[in-house]
């Protein structure tokens, strides 16, 4: 008969009992339960017995059986805490190399985590100061063309919708109607101050918690032509005078100051210098037919304040009904759908058009979160890997601790303390890295600059420390568990043999994965950088060097031109309506002169007669514009690109035959007087068409003055121009940029990707390299004995080196074999086809990542394996 295994009570129930039960009565209670269990086994079978055992254990949990915490049970924990800390610091100090590798690895990963925490803290502090924050909802609108329900939502709504919601929809407490675009120069006496503001109705101060310092919040924005100024603007205009009741001039109208509001806090999603009363618009826009149309959803905002405990779903139903009712008033079968957005989702939420202030799409946050988690997990994994790799140095320590009486729990806590101390040390470095990369991170994107501050507040530092403790626990848990589970008897009996450790394959897969990611990041960054260089060097078809574009504002071009012409460095001056090739587009309808039914949208730029020569456009036929005589305000002439001739088939392939042909551009008949070679009107990577016309600008139609400079010292010349400007327009600062700089800015998306990609590549490579180092050290030290024996039997150093490194070379080869084709396919098939005029991928770029990684890995592997290969067998084997 086979020996049958005695059925045993469930382990978890036994543990539960010994966990809660008082020591004095534990033993006989256990015994009683065992006796009953055996009896039940015989009577009812093992399953039922186990069930009864579990129920009994739970039933025995009574006041008289449960342990009471007292000072004697708590005391040893405090005593032990000191000991844990002491042995942790000693161990860190003893293994300086390992500790340094761990600290650096963790701090690199953690710095990204700190960025994320800073970002989340900042965006979560938005709009906190509004007392009614949880009850405020913004009405958002969707412009559905022909039943297109997927159209993007706008943060704006129509003024008429806002008014109707306010007046006729039930179940709401209040609605603040806000209008943007209250921008311009405000004048008081001889003081002129530019400002950007909003218009709002009298509910503004009821719904929001902007604090009004002077004036009556209930009436300040009631009357037309009232204006509430921020403290800063009021100080600029009035100095120490009392501004209330004063009259300022704006857009040629007089506004009376009815209140002073505190400057909006940094973390407010709307920013303003002044708030005008929206009732003004019913006077100024009285004759505008567009103002009160249902589909004019582009400029006004409605913020609904719901009563306490109200249901936004009910309001949404009311809005749906309102939309249905008004559908018939919209022409062309368009449909406006209104929706609601809670205030807390404004800054981080759906990607809406027409935002009132800075915002960040939630997708960006999720992507960033995902990347951070990957990097941190990678760093934690390295810690685990390295700790276990060096574990055999500490087996004796663990064995002695266990023999003296340390329980699993004690060892667990001891090793976790060590990892937490390491992660706290890493935090110090991580904060250093954080401070260094913070400005780069914030300046990466314009919206981030407006959105984030990331000040090291006490609250933020508290979060950092919490984060470090969390990382320490996460990184240290598995090594601690590994050590705690070791068997003391085994440790001494086995002497120096390795404890069984599973998971080698998992570690290999993770190392390969880390290297695949590293190679992909390096290669990808290099490829994007190459594209960036390619676009900056791209031949646009005209000259862009040393051209300064000055924004005119409301000023007269000819006055400025006369002033500038006096500078010796200025060789040529022209005017234009927009700056081309950086992503600005103006388009007009042009009719085909040969076919009345054919018309096409073409891009245009309005320029003066000097523009083409200044930019070295290549005229392939005809001439440039005739200078206008004073008082001439008729548009007659047009210069077209070769693309236009091809599109309309003018001149049958001979540009000179096109001269004199009359074409119709936006219902004006113009004579073609010149043809220029094709050039890039739009941003190069957008791939816009080459169908472009230059129109002869009428006075006042241009926005820029283009100045060609010939000088060795651009900086001094720029300062001279700034001087001329400040005499010319003392109110507004000079807005001038070199065309080459503007082109570079136009590709900021690329340079930002290169920065982010490069940064993450460095992090991932660091982490992967440290991970590999851990693996190599682990292998080298475990196989030291084997290799020594091989040497005794005559193996050469090179042979041993090869034998040790072979496995890692294979892993790296595998990583390269996965990463390179994946990167190539991703860029060649998916990303680059989306980008017009891109450069083809070259081989050196593709291989560069792999070469860097291989070189790095070779250093790691050789430094460790060479040690093993050179070790004297006598030293190693002496102790056997």
Residues lying near another protein in the complex (CB under 8 A) are found at: 25, 27-36, 38, 56, 59-60, 62, 64
- Between CA 355 and CA 299 the distance in angstroms is 10
Beta-bridge mates of residue 214 = 260
> Whose Cβ is closer to another protein: residue 20's or residue 429's?
20
As measured in angstroms, the least distance from the Cβ of 19 to another protein is 17
Q: Which two tokens stand for residue 471?
A: 């990382």
As measured in angstroms, the least distance from the Cβ of 26 to another protein is 9
> Whose Cβ is closer to another protein: residue 56's or residue 273's?
56
- Between CA 300 and CA 277 the distance in angstroms is 13
- Beta-carbon contacts of 477 under 8 Å, excluding residues fewer than 6 positions away, are 416
- Between CA 659 and CA 666 the distance in angstroms is 20
CA nearest to 638, candidates 601, 666, 596: 666
Query: How many CA atoms lie within 13 Å of 618's alpha carbon, on the beta-carbon side?
Result: 11
As measured in angstroms, the least distance from the Cβ of 34 to another protein is 4
Helices (H), 545-676: 557-565, 611-614, 642-648, 655-658
As measured in angstroms, the least distance from the Cβ of 28 to another protein is 4
> Whose Cβ is closer to another protein: residue 32's or residue 148's?
32
> Whose Cβ is closer to another protein: residue 10's or residue 699's?
10
> Whose Cβ is closer to another protein: residue 46's or residue 371's?
46
As measured in angstroms, the least distance from the Cβ of 11 to another protein is 12
Q: Residue 254: what are its φ and ψ, rounded to 5°? A: -95, 130
CA 147, 150, 156, 161 dihedral sign is: positive
> Whose Cβ is closer to another protein: residue 55's or residue 100's?
55
First to last CA, the chain: 45
Dump strand ranges (E) for 251-292: 253-261, 274-277
- Between CA 152 and CA 355 the distance in angstroms is 13
Contact 804, 865 (CB under 8 A): yes
Burial code (b: 16+ CB inside 10 Å, e: under 16) for 108-125 equals bbbbbbbbbbbbebbbeb
> Whose Cβ is closer to another protein: residue 27's or residue 632's?
27
> Whose Cβ is closer to another protein: residue 25's or residue 489's?
25
Contact 671, 637 (CB under 8 A): yes
> Whose Cβ is closer to another protein: residue 65's or residue 592's?
65
Residue count of the chain: 880
- The secondary structure element, H or E, covering residue 704 is strand 704-709
In whole angstroms, how large is the CA radius of gyration of the chain?
37
> Whose Cβ is closer to another protein: residue 32's or residue 455's?
32
Contact 96, 391 (CB under 8 A): no
Contact 522, 676 (CB under 8 A): no
> Cα dihedral angle (716, 720, 721, 725), rounded to 10 degrees?
140
Q: Do strands 668-676 and 662-665 pair parallel, antiparallel, or not at all (unpaired)? A: antiparallel
- Between CA 748 and CA 755 the distance in angstroms is 10
> Whose Cβ is closer to another protein: residue 60's or residue 625's?
60
> Whose Cβ is closer to another protein: residue 64's or residue 843's?
64
Kindly state the DSSP code that residue 783 receives in the 8-state scheme. T
> Whose Cβ is closer to another protein: residue 17's or residue 640's?
17
> Whose Cβ is closer to another protein: residue 32's or residue 797's?
32
Number of H helices, E strands in the chain: 28, 24
As measured in angstroms, the least distance from the Cβ of 9 to another protein is 8
Burial class (CB in 10 A: 0-12, 13-18, 19+), 389: buried
Beta-bridge mates of residue 187 = 192, 249
């Amino acid at each position: 008969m086979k020996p049958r295994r005695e059925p045993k009570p469930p382990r978890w129930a036994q543990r539960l009992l010994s966990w809660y039960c008082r020591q004095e009565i534990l033993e006989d209670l256990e015994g009683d339960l065992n006796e009953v269990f055996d009896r039940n086994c015989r009577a009812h079978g093992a399953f039922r017995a186990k069930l009864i055992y579990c129920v009994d254990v739970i039933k025995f949990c009574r006041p008289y059986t449960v342990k009471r915490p007292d000072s004697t049970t708590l005391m040893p924990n405090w005593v032990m805490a000191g000991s844990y800390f002491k042995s942790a610091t000693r161990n860190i100090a003893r293994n300086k190399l390992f500790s340094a590798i761990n600290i650096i690895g963790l701090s690199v990963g953690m710095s990204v985590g700190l960025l994320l925490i800073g970002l989340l803290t900042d965006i979560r502090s938005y709009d906190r100061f509004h007392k009614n924050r949880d009850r405020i909802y913004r009405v958002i609108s969707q412009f559905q063309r022909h039943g297109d329900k997927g159209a993007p939502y706008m943060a704006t709504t129509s003024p008429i919708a806002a008014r109707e919601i306010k007046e006729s929809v039930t179940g709401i407490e209040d609605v603040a109607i806000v209008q943007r675009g209250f921008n311009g120069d405000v004048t008081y006496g001889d003081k002129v101050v530019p400002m950007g503001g909003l218009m709002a109705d009298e509910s503004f101060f009821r719904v929001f918690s902007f604090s009004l310092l002077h004036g009556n919040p209930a009436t300040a924005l009631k009357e037309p032509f009232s204006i509430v100024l921020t403290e800063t603007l009021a100080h600029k205009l009035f100095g120490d005078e009392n501004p209330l009741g004063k009259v300022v001039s704006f857009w040629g109208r007089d506004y009376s100051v009815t209140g002073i509001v505190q400057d909006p806090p940094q973390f407010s999603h709307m920013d303003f210098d002044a708030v005008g009363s929206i009732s003004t618009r019913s006077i100024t826009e009285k004759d505008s037919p567009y103002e009160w149309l249902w589909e004019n959803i582009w400029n006004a905002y409605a913020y609904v304040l719901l009563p306490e405990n109200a249901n936004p779903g009910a309001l949404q139903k009311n809005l749906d009904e309102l939309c249905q009712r008004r559908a018939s008033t919209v022409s062309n079968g368009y449909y406006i759908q209104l929706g609601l957005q809670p205030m807390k989702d404004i800054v981080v939420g759906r990607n809406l058009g027409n935002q009132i202030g800075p915002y960040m799409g939630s997708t960006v946050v999720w992507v960033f979160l995902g990347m951070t988690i990957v990097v941190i997990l990678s760093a934690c994994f390295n810690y685990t890997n390295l700790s276990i790799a060096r574990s055999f140095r500490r087996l004796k320590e663990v064995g002695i601790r266990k023999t003296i009486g340390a329980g699993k729990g004690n060892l667990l806590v001891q090793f976790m303390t060590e990892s937490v101390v390491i992660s706290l040390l890493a935090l110090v470095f991580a904060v250093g890295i954080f401070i260094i990369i913070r400005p780069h991170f914030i300046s990466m994107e314009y919206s981030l600059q407006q959105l984030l501050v990331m000040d090291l507040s006490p609250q933020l530092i508290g979060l950092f420390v919490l984060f470090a403790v969390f990382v320490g626990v996460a990184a240290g848990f598995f090594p601690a568990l590994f050590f705690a589970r070791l068997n003391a008897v085994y440790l001494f009996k086995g002497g120096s043999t390795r404890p069984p450790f599973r998971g080698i394959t998992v570690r290999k897969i993770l190392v390969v994965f880390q290297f695949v990611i590293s190679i992909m990041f390096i290669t990808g960054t290099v490829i994007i950088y190459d594209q960036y260089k390619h676009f900056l060097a791209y031949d646009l078809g005209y000259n862009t060097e040393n051209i300064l574009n000055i924004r005119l504002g409301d000023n007269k071009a000819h006055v400025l031109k006369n002033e500038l012409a006096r500078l010796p460095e200025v060789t040529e001056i022209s005017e234009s309506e927009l700056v081309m090739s950086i992503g600005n587009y103006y388009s007009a309808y042009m009719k085909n002169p040969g076919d009345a039914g054919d018309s096409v949208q073409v891009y245009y730029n309005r320029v003066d007669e000097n523009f083409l020569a200044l930019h070295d456009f290549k005229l392939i036929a005809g001439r440039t514009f005739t200078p206008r005589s004073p008082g001439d305000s008729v548009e007659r002439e047009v210069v077209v690109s070769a693309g236009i001739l091809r599109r309309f088939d003018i001149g049958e392939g001979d540009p000179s035959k096109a001269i004199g042909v009359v074409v119709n551009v936006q219902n004006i008949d113009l004579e073609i007087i010149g043809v220029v070679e094709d050039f890039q009107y739009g941003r190069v990577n957008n791939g816009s068409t080459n169908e472009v016309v230059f129109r002869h600008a009428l006075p006042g139609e241009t926005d820029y003055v283009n100045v060609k400079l010939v000088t060795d010292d651009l900086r001094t010349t720029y300062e001279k121009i700034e001087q001329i400007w400040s005499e010319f327009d003392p109110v507004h600062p000079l807005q001038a940029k070199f065309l080459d700089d503007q082109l570079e800015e136009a590709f900021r998306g690329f340079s930002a990707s290169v920065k982010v990609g490069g940064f993450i590549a460095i992090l991932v490579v660091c982490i992967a390299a440290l991970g590999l180092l851990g693996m190599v050290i682990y292998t080298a030290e475990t196989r030291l004995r084997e290799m020594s024996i091989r040497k005794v039997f005559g193996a050469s150093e090179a042979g041993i080196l090869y034998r040790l490194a072979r496995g890692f070379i294979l892993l790296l080869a595998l990583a390269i074999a996965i990463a390179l084709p994946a990167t190539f396919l991703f860029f060649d098939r998916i990303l680059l086809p989306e980008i017009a005029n891109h450069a083809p991928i070259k081989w050196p770029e593709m291989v560069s990542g792999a070469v860097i990684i291989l070189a790095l890995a070779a250093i790691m592997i050789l430094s460790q394996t060479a040690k093993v290969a050179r070790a004297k067998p006598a030293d190693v084997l002496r102790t056997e």
